[in-house]
Amino acid sequence: MGVHKWSLVALVLLNLGVFLINGLSTHNASTRPAIVNIGAIFTFDSTIGKVAKVAIEEAVKDINANSTVLRGTKLRLEMRSSNCSGFLGMVGALQFMESDTIAIIGPQSSVVAHIISHVANELQVPLLSFAATDPTLSNLQFPYFVRTTQSDLYQMNAVAEIIDYYNWRDVIAIFIDDDYGRNGVLALDDALAAKRCKISYKVGIPPGPGFGRTEVMDILVKVALLESRVIVLHVYPDMGYLMFSVARYLGMMADGYVWIATDWLSSSLDSSLPLPLEKMENMQGVVALRQHTPDSVEKKAFTSKWSKLTGGSFGLNSYALYAYDTVWIIAHAIDAFFDQGGIVSFSNDSRLSSGGFADLHLDAMSIFNGGKLLLDNMWKSDFVGLTGHIKFDSDRNLVNPAYDIINIIGTGIRTVGYWSNGSGLSTLTPENLYSKQVNRSSANQELHSIIWPGEVVTKPRGWVFPNNGKLLKIAVPLRVSYKEFVSQLPGTNMSKGFCIDVFVAAVNLLPYAVPYQFIPFGNGKENPSYTELSNYVMFIFAIGENTASTLGRIVLLIWLFVVLIINSSYTASLTSILTVQQLSSPVKGINSLKKTNDRIGYQVGSFAERYLLEIGIPQSRLVALGTPDAYTDALRKGSKNGGVAAIVDERPYIELFLSNQCTFRVVGTEFTKSGWGFAFPRDSPLSVDLSTAILTLSENGDLQRIHDKWLIRSGCSTDNSELESDRLHLKSFWGLFLICGVACFIAIFIYFCQVFRRFRNVARSTVDSDGSRSRRLQTLLSIIDEKKDPRDKKRQKVERSISDESKDCETGHDSEQR
Ligand SMILES: *[C@@H]1O[C@H](CO)[C@@H](O)[C@H](O)[C@H]1NC(C)=O
Ligand SMILES: *[C@@H]1O[C@H](CO)[C@@H](O)[C@H](O)[C@H]1NC(C)=O
Ligand SMILES: *[C@@H]1O[C@H](CO)[C@@H](O)[C@H](O)[C@H]1NC(C)=O
C-alpha cells in the first residue's frame, strides 16, 4: 500500500515537473501524445516492397531514437501487405482507419493508389506513396495523396529527350495495360509530341498471370515486322525480363535495335545484382533510367548500413531511399502539427452510420480531424534527406526531378549521363548544374557513348523498311512534254527517264532494301499539276523542286530570255552586233519583265504560274505552253504577234530546251540555287538517306553520266547559245575586209599604171636603136627591178621620175589605159 501511495505521489510530481518544463519551454507539448500510429501498405515480396520494408522500419527506428525530431512522441508503425491487389489494399487501408492511424505510407502500386486514395480522401488521412509514379495520380483529384517520389511525367520527358537527342522519330511502346503502364505511356506520347516524335505502335500487355512466353513471342514477332527499331519498355520486372529473353531468342537484341527501359529495370537490378549470367546476357546494350539521388555522407552511411540490415541478401535501390525519406516527411510534419497545436482526434462519419451500412460495421471507421493540418505541414516539408532536397513545388511534385541514364554492359551497368528537368541531358551530375543558368539548346545536350545491342557503338538508325510485304509507292507524273525526265513505257506500268535512273541509282546505294512501285499520276493529256501531286502522294518525284518544296514553295525558277539574232547581211558587223544586243535585251530580269506589258510563257502544270501570279503579274499576261515546239513558236512570234516575250520555267526543262535551240538564251539570275529534289512525306526517315545517296551519285560522277545519257542532245549546248551573241566570227568583219580589199586593189592598180607609163617612155626613146621583143621585156623588168635597188641615188632618181610620170598618167593617159 505504502509503496503504492509513494508511487502515486512520485507520478504527480513527475507530471508537475513535465508541466513545469512545458510551461517554460516555447512549445505547448502538453498536447503531444506518447505514441502516434502510422500505417504502411505495400506488397512485401515485390522488388520494391522488399527493400521498402527494411527502409521504412529503419527510418522509424532512427526517428524514435532521435529525441529532437518528435520530442518525446514515438511513431508506431503497422504494416500490411496489399499483394498488388486493389481490393486487399483497400481492406488494409480501412483497417488502419479503425486503429487511429494518422498517416499511411504506400501503396507502392499506382493501381492500388487510385483505389485507396478515395478512402484517404474521405477519412482525411494523408497517403504518402514512395513508389506510385503514375502521372495521373493528381493532387487535384486526390488532395490527400502525397507522392514522395518522382512522377513518371518527368521520366517520360527524359525518355523523349533521349529519343530526340539521337534523332529518332518513331518509337514502339510496350507497356503493362494498367494505370501505371497506360498513363505512363500517355505521358510519353505527350512528351514525344512536343519533340515532333511519336509512338508509332503501342502494345498493352494485360497485367496479372496468364501472359506467358508464347504470348510475348506473338507480340515481339509483330514488333519485329514494324518500321521502328526503338522500343520503350514500361512494364514490371518479371515481364521485362521475359521480354528480353524472348527478344534475344528472336534476334531482337542484335545490331540495329534500341531498347529503352524505364526505371523498373534499374530498381530491380540495383536490388538484385549480380543477376545470373544468362539474364544479363539477354539485355546487353539496353538503356535504362534510374531516379537520380545525389551522393551525400548520409546516403553513403545508409548504404553501408544496408548490407548489415539485409545480410547482403538484396541491394539498395532508389525506392528504398524514397521510402526512408517518406517516414521522415511524416515525422517532420507531425512535429510541426503538434507545434501548431494539432490534436489527434477522430470523429465518426455521419454518412456511414446513417446510410444503411450498419451491417458492414463501418462505424468503427472515423475521420481524422487534424488531417488537413497534418497534410499542409507535409506540403511545407523542407529538409535534406537521403534522396536530396525534400521540398514540394506549387504543383505538389518533389523539386529537382532527375534521372541517371544507364547502359547495361557485361555483368554490370554504366552511367552514361543524367537527365534533369532543368538542364536536360548532360554528363555532369544535376547537382552541379542547379546553381547554373543552363542553356537547353540541343548543342548543349550530351551523353557519353552508349554500347548498343549487338555491341555496336555507332548510333542505330532507329528504323528499317517494314518487312511487311508492302511496296513503297512512288508517284510518277505522266508527262506529255520533256519526256526525257520521266515518262511511262507505253502499255506497261514501268517508267523511264532521267529521274527514274537517278532514283534507281540512289536507292541502290542505300544500305537496306527499299521495295518500291511506280504509280503513274496525271491524265496523260497534259502535264499534271505538281501542287496537286504533292498533296496526293507519298512522295513526288520531280526534279527542280527542293525537298522542302512539297508545296512548291522553295523552287528553282529561272529566267528565260531569248534574243533573236537577225541573220540578215548587214547586222553581222561588229558594231551592228553590239547595237542589236542593246536593242533586243530590254528585259534584264524578272523585275524589268514585270514592268513591261509583254506576255510571259510558263509550262503547263508548273508552279511557275502560281509564282508569277504571286509576284503580281496579271493572269492575262500569262500564256500556258505545253511542249518545246510551243515554246519555239511563241518565242519566234514575240509578244506583239500573239507569242511571248519570255518564258519562266524550271532550269532543267530550260536546259533541255536550249540544248537543241541555239537561238534563245537564259537571262537574269536564278532565283535559288539549282538543286535536286525529292518530295517525301513530312518526317519520312528515307529523306535523309536518299539525299545522302544522291550526293554520293553526284560525287562519283554517276549523276553526270545519267544526265548526259538523257539530257545532252546534238547541236549547240546551253553554254554556246548563251555566249553565241557575244562571240565574233570571221563573217562579222566582212565589211572591214571589203574596205581593205578595195583599198588594196586601187593601190595595185595605180602602181601598175605608173610602171606602164614609165615603160612606154623608155620604150619610145630606145625604139630606133633596137626594137626587138627581148629588149623590150628587159627594159620592163629593169624598170620594175629598179624599185628594189638599194642604192639611194638610183632610188631617188626612179622615185622622182615616177612622181613626174604619175602626174602624166593621172592627167593625160588615164582614160587611155582603160
Ligand atoms: C500552441 O502554441 C502555438 C504557438 O506555438 C499556438 O498557436 C497554439 O494556439 C497553442 N495551442 C494550445 C492548445 O495552446
Ligand atoms: C520542370 O521544368 C518546367 C519548365 O522548365 C517547370 O515549369 C517545372 O516547374 C519544373 N518542375 C519541377 C518539379 O521542377
Ligand atoms: C545556347 O547555346 C547555343 C550554342 O552553344 C548558342 O548558339 C545560343 O545562343 C545559346 N543561347 C543562349 C540563350 O545562351
311-324 average pLDDT score: 92
Of 393, 421, 437, which is best to mutate to test ligand 2, by the most ligand atoms within 8 angstroms of its C-beta? 421
Helix axis angle, 318-339 to 297-310, nearest 10°: 110
**Mean predicted lDDT score pLDDT of the chain:** 80
139-164 average pLDDT score: 94
238 ligand 2 Cβ < 6 A: no
Q: In this predicted model, what pLDDT tens digit does every residue of 716-773 receive, in sequence order?
A: 544 444 444 555 566 766 777 788 888 888 888 888 888 888 888 877 776 555 557 7
424 ligand 2 Cβ < 6 A: no
The pLDDT assigned to 569 comes to: 42
The answer to which of 124-138, 232-246, 569-583 has the lowest mean pLDDT is: 569-583
Ligand 3 atom 12, closest CA: 439
pLDDT over 70 (residue 800): no
Question: Which one has a higher pLDDT value, 90 or 218?
Answer: 218
441 ligand 3 Cβ < 6 A: yes
437 ligand 3 Cβ < 6 A: no
| CATH 3.40.50.2300-classified regions of the chain | 35-150+298-391, 152-293+401-444
322-342 average pLDDT score: 95
797-812 average pLDDT score: 50
Ligand with smallest separation from the Cα of 439: 3
- Of all residues in the chain, the percent with pLDDT exceeding 90 is 37
DSSP 544-594: SB-GGGTTS-SB--EEEE-PPP--SSGGGSHHHHHHHHHHH----SHHHHH
646 pLDDT band (50/70/90 cuts)? confident
pLDDT over 50 (residue 322): yes
219 ligand 2 Cβ < 6 A: no
Atom of ligand 2 nearest to the CA of 398: 13
pLDDT over 70 (residue 585): no
pLDDT over 60 (residue 573): no
The pLDDT assigned to 256 comes to: 92
Q: Cell numbers for 589, please give them.
A: 530580269
Atom of ligand 2 nearest to the CA of 399: 13
pLDDT over 60 (residue 248): yes
Atom of ligand 2 nearest to the CA of 393: 13
430 ligand 2 Cβ < 6 A: no
The pLDDT assigned to 586 comes to: 65
Of 438, 439, 444, which is best to mutate to test ligand 3, by the most ligand atoms within 8 angstroms of its C-beta? 439
The CA distance from 152 to 180, in Å, is 9
Of 340, 344, 373, 377, which is best to mutate to test ligand 1, by the most ligand atoms within 8 angstroms of its C-beta? 340
439 ligand 3 Cβ < 6 A: yes
Ligand with smallest separation from the Cα of 424: 2
pLDDT over 80 (residue 438): no
Q: In this predicted model, what pLDDT tens digit does every residue of 615-638 receive, in sequence order?
A: 888 888 888 888 888 888 888 888
pLDDT over 50 (residue 233): yes
First to last CA, the chain: 182
Atom of ligand 1 nearest to the CA of 31: 13
467 pLDDT band (50/70/90 cuts)? low
Interval between CA 340 and ligand 3 midpoint (Å): 49
440 ligand 2 Cβ < 6 A: no
The pLDDT assigned to 707 comes to: 83
Query: The pTM is what?
Result: 0.67
The pLDDT assigned to 628 comes to: 85
Cα-based angle 116, 117, 122 (whole degrees, multiple of 5): 100
Q: Which residues on adjacent β-strands are paired with residue 407?
A: 287, 414
The pLDDT assigned to 483 comes to: 80
Interval between CA 161 and ligand 3 midpoint (Å): 18
CA separation, residue 724 to residues 58, 571, 617, 657 (Å): 95, 14, 30, 16
Of 28, 335, 344, which is best to mutate to test ligand 1, by the most ligand atoms within 8 angstroms of its C-beta? 28
Helix, strand, coil percentages (3-state) for the chain, rounded to 5, are 50, 15, 35
CATH superfamily of the 152-293+401-444 domain: Response regulator (3.40.50.2300)
Interval between CA 319 and ligand 2 midpoint (Å): 22
Class of domain 35-150+298-391: alpha beta
Atom of ligand 3 nearest to the CA of 439: 1
Q: Cell numbers for 200, please give them.
A: 508509332
DSSP 626-654: -SHHHHHHHHHH-GGGTS-SEEEE-HHHH
* Residue in 649, 689, 76, 591 with CA at minimum distance from that of residue 327: 76
CA separation, residue 477 to residues 1, 122, 668, 710 (Å): 114, 68, 29, 17
pLDDT over 50 (residue 501): yes
| Cβ < 6 A, ligand 1 pocket | 28, 31, 339, 341
CB 197, CB 171: distance < 8 Å = yes
Q: In this predicted model, what pLDDT tens digit does every residue of 169-203 receive, in sequence order?
A: 999 999 999 999 999 999 999 999 999 999 999 99
In the sheet that holds 198-205, the strands lie side by side as: 198-205, 170-176, 230-234, 258-261, 287-291, 402-409, 412-420, 424-426
